[in-house]
Amino acid sequence: MKNFWTYLKISIKSKLYYRTSFILNMISPIIVLCGQVLLWKGIFKLNNASDFADMSRNAMFSYILIAFVLNNSLNWSTENSLSKDIRNGTVVSKMIRPTTFLSQNIADMFGGVLIQGLFYTLLVIVIFFIAAKDLFVPSFSNLLLFVLSAILGMILRLMINDFFSLLCFFVTGYLGIAWLKNAITNFFSGAMIPITLFPVTLKSIAGYLPFKYMIQVPISFFLGEYTFADGIKTYTVQILWILFFIILHCLIYRKIRINLVIAGG
Amino acid sequence: MLKIDELEKCYRNKEKRSIFHTTKSKEEKKALDGINIDLKEGQALACIGENGAGKSTLIKCALGILSPTSGSVRLFGEDPRRNKKYCMQKVGVVFGQKTNLWIDIPVIESYKAVKQIYKVDNDTFKRNYEMVMELLELKDIIDVPARRLSLGQRMRADIGLVLLHGPELLFMDEPTLGLDINVKYTIRKFLRQLNQQEKTSIFLTSHDLDDIDEICDDAIVISKGKQIYSGKLDELKNVYADKHIIKISGMKTGNILSLFPGVELTEKENQSIISWDKSCYSVQDVISGVFRMYAVDDIEVREPDIDEVVSRIFTEGVSI
Amino acid sequence: MIRAFLSIKNQCIKSEMAYKANFYLLVFAGIVTKFVGLGVPFILFEKTKDIAGWGRNEIYLVMVYIIIAEGVNSLFFEGVWNIPEMVFSGKLDVLLIRPMNPLLQVLSYGVGIHGLGDLLFGIPTLIYLHINLGLVNAKAIMLSFIYIVTGTVLCLAVYIISNSIVFWFDSGGKTSIPYMIANVGQYAKYPLRIYPVVIQVLLCFVIPYAFMGIVPAMIMTNRISDLYFIVVLGVVGLFFLMAIYIFNKGITKYESAGM
């Protein structure tokens, strides 16, 4: 476990080294957030509604903000650093070290999550204090349930990311996989639009996939739509999915080590 | 061909801060301070200097891809910044660390692209292409994407690329960096031939002083941006190579220092190396002394090679 | 010059196609990404009749213009995204030494196969929308075609400008400004009326994504007069010239500072 902290520290330090680009990379999603807020404000205003298909205005804005934090704790470069390493061949150094491949990857991604996640969480908390009357503020117990669900969801997100990155061993480029992953994950996790708004067929498809546990489900706790009883059920499913991906990782990894082909020269 | 007068280039260092500590530094660094070069047709000029001396900066200024702070650069009589197309048509540049090849496409396709970009006519291209294929032994790698080549292969392909449009002046910035001895040999032989037969001028930067020895007749030495020597390579060696060196294999039977005080003696197991100032003793004297003081198995008289010459210049500074 | 551009581009495409699996993966990824992009308005329109007076197919029209513009850019001008890396690594030197315009060289090198996916998805969708919105006359078809061209040129101009920022901001090799700017474009897919005036101005004149999708759509759906067509041409032309100017200025800066 000590090794985990070492890798984590290195990951954080290397991300913080370039101050300007670090700040710019942080601002980028905020701009996207602003766009989203404006879009929904516009939709609500022009349709003169106080709710949109059973989601109240306040709930919707809270949804957007929380989804923002959860979705942007991992940014593009962190997500794809493993994929790029695999494409370059530099991943070999990771495989030779005496720590498990999985924990190194998780530590690396986690570094990004800590920095960005922390920053955005603080930002959103501030927004909640400022704009409290326009937002849905959860009760304390809901908040706790939410936090637990979010943490599990984050671990699941890291595992899914790891899984997609491993696929890069089998394909020659990483961009295709990265885009595919983004498109599917963003849509079915509820990052783009709440799953509760999906039409029936899509909603049931989304129900079978693990992605909703990354964003939609934690936020459901936040908005008080789920209770503790639901919690027991969803936490279990989340943990099961996480275990599923861990096992998947080990299986794939073993196959990779047997057939290793890395670009030469 | 290339005329540089009193070239100066200053850089201003920007403030660099990291998120945890602030270090402000706005210095002016003089990368080049008063460089003068007159490179004629068919000349092979070596540029010798320690790391950071300003060699790469000099090449970039000569090419017009870096603007000098003061002084003038004339390439084929024109300012390379003003008359880019004309000048670039006639030069070829090989950067040791950056490749000229397009990295994901086969070498032959990079060659074809060059033919179109430099508007080389079919006959010239065919001639140069065959010359380069044969002399740089490119047959096996011509269809491979540059990404997959080893360093030595890539360097050969790079040099080939640069010659396809028949440049009159070739700039080479550390071309043999990281290459093994066979490849270096091929490249040196090729460049020597190019210079002597095609009369292509060469401006070569290298840390490998054997490269310089093999290819160039003239040299300039640059240290910390200042030009501290300009002239023939042999003269440089003579001025600084003012020592004789004898290497002896054999058992020691007496102390050579008693006969020739002041010589430098390095001993290692069964070998000794003696070096001394030329002006102190003659070679014959020292050799006969050696035979008296050693049971000689093998003896070798050497001139200091250019490595030592150069390192002496850098440590002692110049006085010509 | 153009021949060299095309020959390099051709080679890049060939070398991408050599990796069959990856090629199809990228095309597929392109299609899926854009398809999902259209999913958001799809879901919105399930619950509401219109957004600011725009019907579902009309919003799709806006989006499809942008999809096609981005698709063509990815396919032919993907090299523009290499500019930051070339500046930081000094690879730009290699381009400056050749007697060919460095911008053309940069644009020629790189192919975004996902662009093919964008086009495979976008063009049939455009045709479908034309039929659905009743735009089946010659004038509409011709105009649509012109808007595709102007959209592509404008998109290219925006990409060139945003990637050229690296000439002035040395941020150690990892900068996401170009992507950030491209992201702003996402919000130009909805009717301008939704946004406060400041944003409208931003989307029209600062990062003119509005002229890629929504303004052409407004003209096509007769919300504003056909004469605005001239405004579109003007804005596109202006930004294109600006892009070339900024890039060249950047090269001059690069040559004086060296990197």
Burial class (CB in 10 A: 0-12, 13-18, 19+), C46: middle
Which amino acid type is present at position B79?
A: D
Our CA-based measurement puts residue A171 at a distance from the nearest CA of chain C, in whole angstroms, of 6
Which of B257, B214, B207, B258 is closest to B233 using CA atoms?
B214
**Close Cβ partners of A76 (under 8 Å, ≥ 6 residues apart):** A178, C176, C179
**Nearest-10 crossing angle of helices C20-47, C56-77:** 160
Pairwise CB contact (< 8 Å): A52 & C48: yes
Residue A6 falls within a domain, yes or no? yes
- Backbone dihedral angles phi then psi of residue B218, each to the nearest 5 degrees: -115, 160
Confidence (pLDDT) at A20: 65
Percent of chain A whose pLDDT exceeds 90: 7
Asked if residue A173 has pLDDT above 70, the reply is yes
Of A35, A183, A198, the CB nearest to C184: A35
Pairwise CB contact (< 8 Å): B88 & C99: yes
Tell me the three state secondary structure of residue A80: helix
pLDDT in tens, C103-157: 998 998 888 888 999 999 999 999 999 998 888 888 888 989 999 999 999 999 9
Instruction: Decide if C211 contacts C235 (C-beta within 8 A).
Output: yes
Region A141-162: mean pLDDT is: 89
Confidence (pLDDT) at B170: 92
Pairwise CB contact (< 8 Å): A265 & B148: yes
The span from the CA of B202 to the CA of B217, in Å, is 10
Our CA-based measurement puts residue C227 at a distance from the nearest CA of chain A, in whole angstroms, of 28
Instruction: Tell me if B2-238 shares its fold with B243-302.
Output: no
Confidence (pLDDT) at A162: 87
Instruction: Decide if C250 contacts C242 (C-beta within 8 A).
Output: no
Our CA-based measurement puts residue A206 at a distance from the nearest CA of chain C, in whole angstroms, of 13
Q: Where are the domains of chain B?
A: 2-238, 243-302
> Can you give the three-state secondary structure of chain C, one letter per residue?
CHHHHHHHHHHHHHHHHCCHHHHHHHHHHHHHHHHHHHHHHHHHHHHCCCECCECHHHHHHHHHHHHHHHHHHHHHHHHHHHHHHHHHHCCHHHHHCCCCCHHHHHHHCCCCCHHHHHHHHHHHHHHHHHHHCCCCCHHHHHHHHHHHHHHHHHHHHHHHHHHHHHHCCCCCCCCCHHHHHHHHHHHHHCCHHHCCHHHHHHHHHHCCHHHCCHHHHHHHCCCCCCCHHHHHHHHHHHHHHHHHHHHHHHHHHHHHHCC
Interface test mutation site (partner C, options B109, B112, B118, B170, max chain C beta carbons within 10 A): B109
Confidence (pLDDT) at C170: 65
The span from the CA of C130 to the CA of C101, in Å, is 39
Of B66, B98, B106, the CB nearest to C258: B66
Interface B-C: count of C-beta contacts within 8 A: 66
Interface test mutation site (partner B, options C9, C88, C98, max chain B beta carbons within 10 A): C98
Torsion on CA atoms B181, B187, B191, B197, rounded to nearest 10:
110
Residues from chain B contacting residue C93 (CB–CB below 8 Å) = 60, 65, 95, 98
| Partners of B265 in beta bridges | B274
Of A32, A38, A47, the CB nearest to C199: A38
Element holding A240 (H helix, E strand): helix A228-258
C-alpha C242, offset from chain centre: 16
Asked if residue B229 has pLDDT above 90, the reply is no
Asked if residue B18 has pLDDT above 50, the reply is no
Of C8, C15, C97, the CB nearest to B88: C97
User: Chains meeting C at 3+ CB pairs closer than 8 A?
Assistant: A, B
Of A17, A19, A265, the CB nearest to B147: A265
Task: Look over chain B and give the mean of its residue pLDDT values, rounded to a whole number.
Answer: 82
**Nearest-10 crossing angle of helices C114-132, C20-47:** 40
Left, alpha or beta for B199 (phi > 0: left; psi -120 to 50: alpha)? left
pLDDT in tens, A195-219: 888 888 888 888 889 999 999 998 8
Which amino acid type is present at position A127?
A: I
Supply C176's token pair.
């996401």
Instruction: Identify the CATH number of the domain defined by range B243-302.
Output: 3.30.70.260
The span from the CA of B31 to the CA of B46, in Å, is 19
- The residue of chain B with its CA nearest to that of C97 is B88
Q: How many CA atoms lie within 13 A of A165 on its CB side?
A: 25
The segments of chain C whose pLDDT lies below 70 read 170-175, 258-259
Task: Using the structure block, give the residue that is written with the tokens 């990062």.
Answer: C207
Region B287-309: mean pLDDT is: 79
Region B85-96: mean pLDDT is: 88
Domain range for residue A196? Answer: 2-258
Which of C193, C194, C228 is closest to C211 using CA atoms?
C228
Instruction: Decide if A32 contacts A174 (C-beta within 8 A).
Output: no
Pairwise CB contact (< 8 Å): C187 & A171: no
The span from the CA of C5 to the CA of C201, in Å, is 36
Pairwise CB contact (< 8 Å): B100 & C94: yes
pLDDT in tens, B117-156: 888 899 999 999 998 898 888 888 898 888 888 888 888 8
Our CA-based measurement puts residue C185 at a distance from the nearest CA of chain A, in whole angstroms, of 10
Of B18, B148, B150, the CB nearest to A17: B18
pLDDT band at residue B295 under the 50/70/90 scheme? confident
Pairwise CB contact (< 8 Å): C194 & A35: no
Instruction: Decide if A8 contacts C159 (C-beta within 8 A).
Output: no
Total of domains in chain A: 1
C14–B contact, CB cutoff 8 A: yes
Task: Using the structure block, give the residue that is written with the tokens 């102190």.
Answer: B280
pLDDT in tens, A20-70: 667 777 777 888 888 888 888 877 877 666 677 677 888 888 898 999 988
Interface of A with B (CB under 8 A): 16-19, 22, 263-265
- The residue of chain C with its CA nearest to that of B15 is C170
Confidence (pLDDT) at C125: 92
pLDDT band at residue A264 under the 50/70/90 scheme? very low
The span from the CA of A164 to the CA of A158, in Å, is 10
Residues from chain A contacting residue B18 (CB–CB below 8 Å) = 16-19
Q: What is the per-residue DSSP string for B53-96?
A: SSHHHHHHHHHTSS--SEEEEEETTB-TTTSHHHHHHHEEEEES
Number of other residues whose CB lies within 10 A of the CB of residue B65:
23
Interface of A with C (CB under 8 A): 17-18, 20-21, 24-25, 27-28, 31-32, 35, 38-39, 41-43, 46-47, 52-53, 76-77, 171-173, 175-177, 179-180, 182-184, 186-187, 192-193, 197-199, 202
Interface A-C: count of C-beta contacts within 8 A: 129
Asked if residue B320 has pLDDT above 50, the reply is no
Which of C137, C139, C136, C121 is closest to C74 using CA atoms?
C121
Percent of chain B whose pLDDT exceeds 70: 89
Instruction: Identify the CATH number of the domain defined by range B2-238.
Output: 3.40.50.300
C38–A contact, CB cutoff 8 A: no
Our CA-based measurement puts residue C207 at a distance from the nearest CA of chain A, in whole angstroms, of 13
Residue A265 falls within a domain, yes or no? no
- The CA–CA distances, whole Å, from B255 to A79, B109, B125, B292, C123 equal 71, 67, 66, 9, 93
Instruction: Decide if B157 contacts B149 (C-beta within 8 A).
Output: yes
Instruction: Decide if A153 contacts A161 (C-beta within 8 A).
Output: no
pTM value is: 0.81
User: Chains meeting B at 3+ CB pairs closer than 8 A?
Assistant: A, C
Of A28, A38, A202, the CB nearest to C179: A28
C15–A contact, CB cutoff 8 A: no
The span from the CA of C196 to the CA of C207, in Å, is 15
Which of C121, C115, C132 is closest to C35 using CA atoms?
C121
The span from the CA of B233 to the CA of B246, in Å, is 23
Which of B267, B243, B258 is closest to B292 using CA atoms?
B258
Tell me the three state secondary structure of residue A138: coil
Of C26, C36, C171, the CB nearest to A183: C36
Residues from chain A contacting residue B20 (CB–CB below 8 Å) = 16
CB neighbour burial string for A190-214, b if at least 16 within 10 angstroms, e if fewer: bbbbbbbbbeeebeeebeeebbbbb
**Close Cβ partners of A139 (under 8 Å, ≥ 6 residues apart):** A224
**Close Cβ partners of B97 (under 8 Å, ≥ 6 residues apart):** B174, B177
Residues from chain B contacting residue C99 (CB–CB below 8 Å) = 84-85, 88-89, 117-118
pLDDT band at residue B25 under the 50/70/90 scheme? low
